[in-house]
Structure 1
Amino acid sequence: MKKHPLLLWAFIGILFVEIPPPLYSQEVVAGGNRDIVFLVDSTMGSLSMVSLRDFIKRFVEPWIVGPNAVQVGIALFSSSPSLQMDLNSHGTKESLVAALGEIKATPGQTVNIGAALDFVRSNMLQPEKGSRLQQGVPQLILLVTSKKSSDVVEQPAWALKQMGVLTLAAGSRAADELELKQIALADQLVFMTRDFKSLFGNPREIVDALSTLTGVTATEVPSESVEAISPTTKTKVARDIVFLLDGSDHVGSGNFPSVRDFIINVVNRLDVRPEGVQIGLMQFAEHPKVEFYLKSYDNKQDIVNRTSELSLSGGSVLNTGAALNSALIHMFQQSSGSRRRQGVQQVLVLITGGPANDQFNSVADKLVLDGVLAITVSSGQADENQLRSIALIPGFMVFHKTNFSDLPALAELIIPLILTDVDAKEPEEIS
């Protein structure tokens, strides 16, 4: 790891041409009030998590912890983020240190850093959660990850920079250094290591940065979602999206997390709210089952939480045609939350891992005729010839990956299609 003089950090703000220079200025000042959020990859392993807990404990030891000094918040993330402690959860050092024992590693193969950064911005850096951003107190985030993100990080990182948040990033193993440089405020604030035990065992550079970086931050916290304020993305649109999820043995419990992660990746990139995007989900094998309707949840986090809790229904029979028909009859209805009659684009995303045991070409055709944009995502034993046959139907798009583990990354290809307006006749309510 290269040594970088701390005085260089006094000028790192000007390295980012997309950040207007007047937004905040950097200076090196040891001590003082600061709000620090540790954003931690929960899949990095138990030994690494122990090293991180010990590091946080040692880091706060010389500080005064409280609402008029240093505050610490912690969030974990894998495919979705979870709050461990808000900035104002612990008003004393003793309380904070005692709570560190609850921070534990969890298994997982996918991390969505973009969603985690957005979670911190919209849920933790808020006055009611203890953030003193509007009082000019430096806001710092230390991102710790062992993997490359499965979602896009550019827009969430950009939004944090616009707020004047000082972001550092530490990565090991499969973490992507170039990606972390997109996230961190400057390249000097990216710390790559073979393992976190060695990094946190000799953390002088990180400690110096967390202890000395400060700045005059923006006085107004952006209230819009990252999708709305980003310069490149255009996801602030209205859509009714139904995921039709193969819960059969063709997917299997070992591959089911990858399927869930694909759905979560798509949801995390959308503007979920009653006037924006609504999400519904059905699972099917021999018989379809509604997991939640379009009207069931009105925010992104509830949908992500519910999707993360899904378990495989199981079964060897896969009646895809019957499931598609059931989605038309039960999901794309006004009583279920559909806004078809208000002209909102209807979208169905079929995710399957096996060959259909019934015919579904005719109902696939009916979906498109009724104004539903239809997308198929498949893997495993799914019959590619069978799926290609429905790809001939105008407005029906088919994606296939050999391995289920490749599905989460497909979200970035699916998003532009979901947001595309398609020409369709005015549908009538299906009875």
Structure 2
Amino acid sequence: PVDLVRQPAGRDVVFLLDGSDATRSGFPAMRDFVQKQVDTLSVDDGKDRVSVVQYSSDPAVQFYLNTYTTKREVLDSVRGLRHKGGRPLNTGAALRYLRDNVFTASAGSRRPSGVPQVLILITGGRSFDSIDEPASALKQLGVLTIAIGTRGSDPRELQTITGEPSHAVSVSEFTDLPNVQEQLSSVMSTVPMRVTPLTPTVTGKNMTHLQSPVSLDVVFLLDGSDATRSGFPAMRDFVQKQVDTLSVDDGKDRVSVVQYSSDPAVQFYLNTYTTKREVLDSVRGLRHKGGRPLNTGAALRYLRDNVFTASAGSRRPSGVPQVLILITGGRSFDSIDEPASALKQLGVLTIAIGTRGSDPRELQTITGEPSYALSVSELTDLPKVQQQFESSVEAAVFEVTPELPTVIGFLCISNQLVACCGLSKTEVGQASVVKILVCQ
């Protein structure tokens, strides 16, 4: 059967404003224009979300998509905007920043839920750095970009950024922005028609499960080195709260816990327990491992070879998303590059939470996605990143969930589709569309 595609409600709209020295005189007109656009959006009912970022040589977030929940708050913040200043104009760096820090679940983006992502760029000059790769990355993310430039801008550059000539708009000066109001509204009106084929449903405590597949294999990797002894109870409590959001009893989700220091030690595998009570009892009974140094690389390699495997209960071959949650309090003594890369190649999605004793760059290398590397001062502060963590998991599950295959097969006898297509029963059962042709 073909799943009906539901149109997402609302939009996530990010304004990227040229705040370089060259736009100082025109900034009030730019600010007024943003106010008028915000006034057309449905913020109060939760449909639309707004973020504003200013940039010159570097970007500066004025507020994120989840900073304000009312139109009045957004408008008050926009009215209070002050010109940033600075040079040169690095539009490429700003676009890259948006991808990694603004169009993310932790910053309020609802992209994983299929809400259209819209970027409105207003600029008065040519970019000093390259925009090709960052613009392409935003397109791949599904962001629809509308660019408005003055006569000081490069029209071809704006068209490259938008990927659609009709979405690159020109004015002589910023004071002429009201003249393109109707043109911008016309483009914006087409945005809600863009839809996503995956519709998530929320179960448990804000933990998102997608309709296909409806399961997760979740592995917790806990730093049990000497340095985390005092913070271990807080780490254990955090794991309990996460397990409590999962659907273990109905067989949808599986959980494993591994502790490590100089070497890893499996507390239980993905197929050790089949009920939530068993998992929670085991987590409550965890004792700090101890030991040093902290070899995160060796632990990641161990997971790849011994935990994310079918014999240990991993359902990766069946397309079930594999999620690793690393909680650590220090820097790794050994190299994490190759083991982290190997897990990514395996399709494992990693979310890392580190303390001030950790290396943020190391955690970002492990996750491969800056927004999935979270920070706390101490392990006792873990509850403070609960919401950010849940948003990251939501985005992560969306990204690692494979699209359902389209199966083209022949109908010899209805129960012989498997033989005719050369497909497994699982593949046929998971197919979103089956086109049946009569065998000659």
What TM-score do you get using the length of structure 1 for normalisation? Answer: 0.44
- TM-score, length of structure 2 as denominator length: 0.43
